[in-house]
Structure 1
Amino acid sequence: MYKACLLPLLIVVLAVTPLLAQEPTQPNRLELDLDIYKTEVQVLPAPDSSLLVLTKTDGTWTSPPTFSITKYNHELQQAWDKKITLDPVSSYITHYSEEPYSYISFTGENNDNFQFVKLNLSDGNFTKHEYKIEAIDSIYVFKVVAGNYFVVARSRKTGTPTLLHLNQTSGDIKPLPAVYGIESTFSDILVHPESQQVSVVMSESNGRISRLQTKVFNADGTLLNNYFILPTQDKRPMQAEITPGDSTSRLLIGNYGTRTMRYATGIFTVPVTAGAGSSRYYSFLQFKNFFKYMKPKREKRMRQREAKREQTGKESGVQYRLLFHDVYPSQEGYILSAEVYTTDSRGGNFNRIYGPTGYLLSSPRVYRRTMALALGFDKNGILLWDNTFPLRNMETRSLQQSVEVTTSPDGKVVIAYPDEDDIFYKIMEQDKYVEEDAELKLQTSDPNSKVVSTSMAGLVKWYGLNFAAFGWHRIKPENRETKMVFYINKISF
C-alpha cells in the first residue's frame, strides 16, 4: 500500500519541480522617499547592467525645477548622482544607450529647441548639446553612431515623419534623402556599431499596394545603399524589423497583407539585399500556437472554415493587426516579438510607426490586446517555432508597447507586464505552450510592511533575464504610519 501511494506522489513532485525552478526571484528592492506630487521619475536601463533614475523635482516661485540623474548598479546600490542643468520647462522625450554612453533627449524652452545630454556611464560626467530645429515639432526616436545623431521626427509643415542627421561636433543639421509622403512611415531604425552604419526601414503605401525601402547610411549621413522589397501579385509587404549583423546577412522580418493594407495575413522574411522573390511567407494558419487564445472548438471551426476557403480559391479570412517589438539575436538566429491587437477605430494604420506618444496613428477610443507573440527564426529566415501569451482585459488609450520581452541566447523568452502591485508573466521554451500564465506579487524591503496602494506601475527589461519593476507604493510599516515611496524591484528569471 505504501509503495502504491509513493509512485503517484513522486510523479507529482517531478512534474512540479521544473515549474518551481522557473519561479522568478526579487533579490533587490530600492525605496526612494520622493514626493509623488512634485517629482517626475524615469527609469532607464543602461547597457552596463545598471539603471539610470532621472528625476525632475518641481521648484517654487523663487527657484526653478531641479534635474538629477542617479546611477544604480545591478544590485540597486547607488554608484553616483549628478545634477544636470536644463531649461526649467524641459521634459524627457526618449533615450538611447551604447557603452560607454547613454544619450537622453529633452524638450527645450520652446517647440523649436531640443536638448541632448551625453552621459558617461562610468563616472556620470556629461555634456549637453542644444539644437534649434524649426522644421520639426517633435522627436519620436533617435540613434547615435560615432557622435552623430539620426533622428526620426515629425515635420512641422506636413505632419509626416522625417529623418534628420545632427552632427554633434559641428552642430550641423541636415535632412537625409528619402521618399516621404502621407503614407510613408518608419518601421525600424537600427545602428550597426561594428560597421558604424545605420539602417532605416521605411514602409510606403498608397492604400492599395505597398513596398518596403531599406536605406543604409554611414556615420556622417551619406547614403550607402538603398534596397526595395516590392509586392507580389497576392502578397503586400507592410512593416518590417531589420536584424543586426553585417550587411551581407541582414534580414527583414515583417508582416504582409493580401486583401487590405490595414490587416496582416502572415509573417515574411527576406534578405535585405534580395528581392521579394527571395521572401519566405508564413500564414498565421501555419503557426502551431497562434490561435491558443481561442477555445479549442472555436479554433477547430475556424481552421475548417479556412480550409474550405482555400479549396474554393478564396482569400484567407484570418487577418490581424500587429505591433512589432525589436528583433533579438539567439544562438539559432533571431527572435521577433509582437503584440496582436484590435481597435474600435476605423481609421489609422498599425505596427511600429513612430509618433509623439510612441506611434504615429489616428486616435481610436481604445486598443485591446489579444496576445503577445514570439517567433524563432534561423539565420536564413526559416521559421523554427512560434509561441503566444494570451492577454485578457488589457486595454490602452494609445498604441504603445504594453508588455516587456527579454530573451536568453539559448532561446528562452520571458514576456511580462505589470498590473497594480503584481507582475504577470509567461516563460516560453520555444514552442512548448503553457496554458496558464503566472503571477508574481511585488515584495517590500521590510517583510513586515504591506503595500496599501500602487500608482503608475511600470516595467522595463533590464539585462539578461532581469526586469525592473517600478512605480509608487503607499506602504504600511509595522507599528508606523503609512508612507509613499518610489520603488524599484529587480525581478530575475
Structure 2
Amino acid sequence: MKLRYIFLLIWGWALAAAPPALAQKRGQAPPPPPPNAPRQTARTELPLEPSDSEVHVQAVPADSTVVLLVGREKLLSNKTKFSFQQYDSTLRLRQETPLDVPTEFDFTRMCAEGTTVYALFTSHSNTGRLWAAAYSGRLGQVHTQQFDTKLSREVVELKALDGRLFATVLLNDQQHVTALLLDVATGQMQYLPSVYEQLPTQLTFVADAATRRAEYVLSQTNGRKSRLLLKQLTDRGQLVKSEFVQAESERSLLTAQVTPPQDTTARLLMGTYSLRGLDYAQGLFATDLAPAAPGAKAPLRFYDFLHLKHFFDYLKPSRQARLRARTARRLARSSAPTRWHYRLLLHELMSQPDGGYVLVAEVYYPHYRYNSYGSYSGPFNNLGNQFGTSPFAGSRIFDGYQTTHAVVCGFDRSGALIWDNTFVVENLRRAELEEAVRLQTLPDGRLVLAYLDEEKLRYKVINRADDAPNDSQVEIQTGSDGTTPAQERTADTSQADLLPWFGSRFVAVGYQKVRVEHGRDREVFFLNSVVF
C-alpha cells in the first residue's frame, strides 16, 4: 500500500512537470502563441497517404490560387492517375482537370508563369525523353508535349518565359551542364550553345516576361581562381550579350544573383567570394553593372562575414566572443585574415520599395550518417554545385544538406550593404540542394523568414538589423475551420513544406496523421493558409 502511494505521488509530480507538448497530447490547451504569431485562416484536407499517392504544389500569386498536381495509384495497376486541382484564396477547390501521363514518365519539376502552371516529367526507360504539361488555371485546360532531347540526363532547374520552358540540364557525360529551350505549344526544342559549361560550375538564372529576357550567371574556374560569366538571352534563346566579372586581387567570385531584367534603373550583381581557394565562401560581394560613364566599371565591394553584424548569431555568445577576440588579435598582428569554411545557397534577389534589394543566403553543409556494413556509393556535392552525382566509397552515407542559418542583407541601389540579419534554424535538412527557408514581405516593410519543422512553423520577423528572437514558432492547426480542437493532435508530419503565396501569406503543405480523441483518426494531405 505504501509503495502504491509513493508511485501515485511520483506520477502526479511527473504530470505537473510535463512539457507543454505532452500536456497538449492529453487534450489540454496548448500554450498561447507569440505576440507576432501568424493567423491560420483556412485549411483543406485531402484523404491521401504518402504510400499510395504523390502531391506536388505550386503557389500562383498572379491569381491568388494554389495548384496541386495529385497522383493516385490505381487499384490492381502499376499506373498512377494524375490530375490538376486548383484551389482559390480560401483553399476551396475551384476545379479539377485530369492529366493522362504515360506510364514511362516520372514527375521531375514544376513552375509557373502568370496563371499557367507547367509540370515536367522524365522517362525512366528512355534517357533524355521528356514530357511536359501546361495547365491553364484560367481556362481549366491542359496541353501536353513530348520531347526527345537524346543528350540530357537530369533536369536541375526549370523556369518559364513567354510560354517556353528554360530547363537547366546535366548531359549524359555527367561532365557538362547546358540549357534546353522547350516550346510546349509547338513541340519545338533546342539546346542553347551559349550556355554550355564544364563541371564543376555553379549557375543561377532569372527570367522576365515583360522584357522577354533571360539572364544566366555561370562560374568559370581554371583550378586556382574563379570568375563569373553573365549571358543575356532572348525568350527564344538567342544570345544578346555576355560579360565577365572577376576580382583583380587573390579573391575568387564563386556564385551570384543578378537583378531581374525588368528593373531598367539598376543592374546589380551580388554573391559570394572565396579567399585563395575555391572550396568555401569568405564573404559577400556586390557591384553595380550599369556603367556610370561609357567604358567605366564600378568597383567590387567585398564584405567579409566577420564584418556582418549578425552572421555569427548561430554560435553561442561565449563562442562568438572568443571568435571575434581571436580575429581581432590576428588583425592587430597584421596576420592573414581568418579563412572561413561556409557554403551558401543564394536566393533570387528581392526588390524593396526604396529601390534597393534584399539578398537571402542559406548557410549549409553536407550531412552524413555512418554504418559498419561496408561501402556505399551515393550523391556527393562539391562546392554546393547543384549538378550530378559522383560515387563516394566508404562507410559514411550522404544524408542530405543541413542548414544552420540564413543570412539576409539589405543593399541600396548602388550595391552598398545597408544592414544584415540572421535567422538561426534547427532541424532543417533537405535531400536536394534547394531553398528551404522562405521569405515574404509584410505591408510595413518588415520581412518574414519561415520554414516548416514537421508540424511546427518556425519563423523570424526581421526589421532590418534589429535584434529579434530566433525561436518563434506555432503549430500547424488541424481543424478544417482553421482552429485546433482540443481533442485532436498531430501524430506525424512528413514531406512538409512552406511556399510564399500572395500578399503576406504563405501556404503550408504536407502529409499528416491526425489523432482524434473521441473519433476516427485520419491520414491526410493538408493545405493551411498562413497570414502574417
| Shorter-chain TM-score above 0.5 | yes
The answer to whether the 8 A contact 1:270-1:276 is kept is no
- State the distance in 2 between where 1:100 and 1:480 align: 40
Deviations 1:9-60 (A, max 9, x none): xxxxxxxxxx955211111011111243211111211132211111111124
1:342 aligned residue: 365
Partner of 1:5: none
Deviates more, 1:197-206 or 1:179-188: 179-188
TM-score norm. by structure 2 comes to 0.82
The answer to whether 1:216 aligns with 2:232 is yes
Q: What corresponds to 1:241 in structure 2?
A: 257
* 1:422-441 correspondence to structure 2 within 5 Å: 422-441=456-475
Residue in structure 2 matched with residue 268 of structure 1 by the alignment: 285
User: Which residue identity is paired with 1:470?
Assistant: V
Contact 2:228 2:245 in 1 (8 A): yes
* Cα 1:182–1:475 shift into 2, 3 Å: same
Partner of 2:523: 484
Q: Any unmatched runs of 5+ in structure 1? A: 1-18
SS at match of 1:95: strand
Partner of 2:173: 157
Moved more, 219-228 or 56-65: 56-65
Residue 351 of structure 2 is matched in structure 1 by: 329
Comparing 461-470 with 197-206, greater Cα deviation is found at: 461-470
Equivalent in 479, 484, 488 of residue 449 of structure 1? 488
Do the aligned partners of residues 342 and 35 (structure 1) sit closer, same or farther apart at CA in structure 2, a change above 3 Å counting? closer
Q: In the alignment, is residue 305 of structure 1 matched against residue 321 of structure 2? A: no
Worse-matched range after superposition: 395-404 or 454-463: 395-404
**In structure 2, do the counterparts of structure 1 residues 436 and 113 end up closer, same or farther at CA, with 3 Å as the change threshold?**
closer
Report if aligned partners of 1:51, 1:72 keep a CA contact under 8 Å in 2: yes
| C-alpha displacement of 1:489 | 1.2
The residue identity in structure 2 corresponding to 1:381 is: G
How far has the Cα of 1:116 moved from its partner? 1.4
13, 35, 50: which one aligns with 2:65:
50
Deviation at 1:138, TM superposition (A): 1.6
Amino acid at match of 1:414: V
Q: Corresponding residue for 1:283?
A: 304
How far the C-alpha of 1:412 sits from its partner, in A, is 1.8
* Contact 1:149/1:167 (8 A) holds in 2: yes
The letter for the 2-side match of 1:355 is F
Q: Which residue is 2:154 aligned to? A: 138
Aligned to 2:17: none
1:463 equivalent in structure 2: 502
1:148 positional shift: 2.7
- 1:101-180 → structure 2 map (5 Å cutoff): 101-108=116-123, 110-178=126-194, 180=196
Deviation at 1:72, TM superposition (A): 0.4
Change (3 A) 1:167 1:186: farther
CA distance in 2, matches of 1:162, 1:336: 26
Match of 1:99 in 2: 114
Distance 1:179 1:30 in 2: 42
Displacement, 1:478? 4.8
Letter paired with 1:384: I
Paired letter, 2:104 = V
Residues 264/30 of structure 1: CA separation in 2 closer, same or farther (3 Å cut): same
Q: Distance in 1 between matches of 2:80 and 2:196?
A: 39
Shift of 1:242: 1.3
- 1:421, 1:241 → 2: CA distance? 32
Distance in 1 separating the partners of 2:453 and 2:428:
10
Displacement of 1:335 in angstroms is: 1.0
TM-score when scaled to structure 1?
0.88
CA offset at residue 459 of structure 1?
A: 2.0
Matched positions, count: 472
Determine the C-alpha separation between the residues in 2 that align with 1:90 and 1:344. 30
Question: In structure 2, the residue corresponding to 1:304 is in which secondary structure?
Answer: helix
Task: Quote the Cα distance in structure 2 between the aligned partners of 1:373 and 1:403.
Answer: 10
CA distance in 2, matches of 1:99, 1:68: 20
Residue identity opposite 1:31 in structure 2: E
Q: Which moved more, 1:155-164 or 1:304-313?
A: 304-313
1:302-451 paired onto structure 2 within 5 Å: 302-311=323-332, 312-332=334-354, 333-343=356-366, 348-351=381-384, 353-355=385-387, 364-365=398-399, 367-408=401-442, 410-445=444-479, 447=485, 448-451=487-490
Give the whole-Å Cα distance in 2 for the aligned partners of 1:452 and 1:304.
46
C-alpha separation between the residues in 1 aligned to 2:154 and 2:367? Answer: 27
Gaps of 5+ in 2: 1-32, 369-379
Q: Return the offset for 1:203.
A: 0.7
CA distance in 1, matches of 2:315, 2:410: 22
Q: Report how far residue 417 of structure 1 moved.
A: 1.8
Equivalent position amino acid for 1:75 in 2: T
Name the stretch that deviates more: 138-147 or 267-276: 267-276
Residue number in structure 2 paired with 1:253: 270
Residue 439 (structure 1) shift: 1.4
Per-residue CA deviation, residues 210-259 of structure 1 (Å, 9 max, x unaligned), is 11011001112110010110222232111001112345622111011112
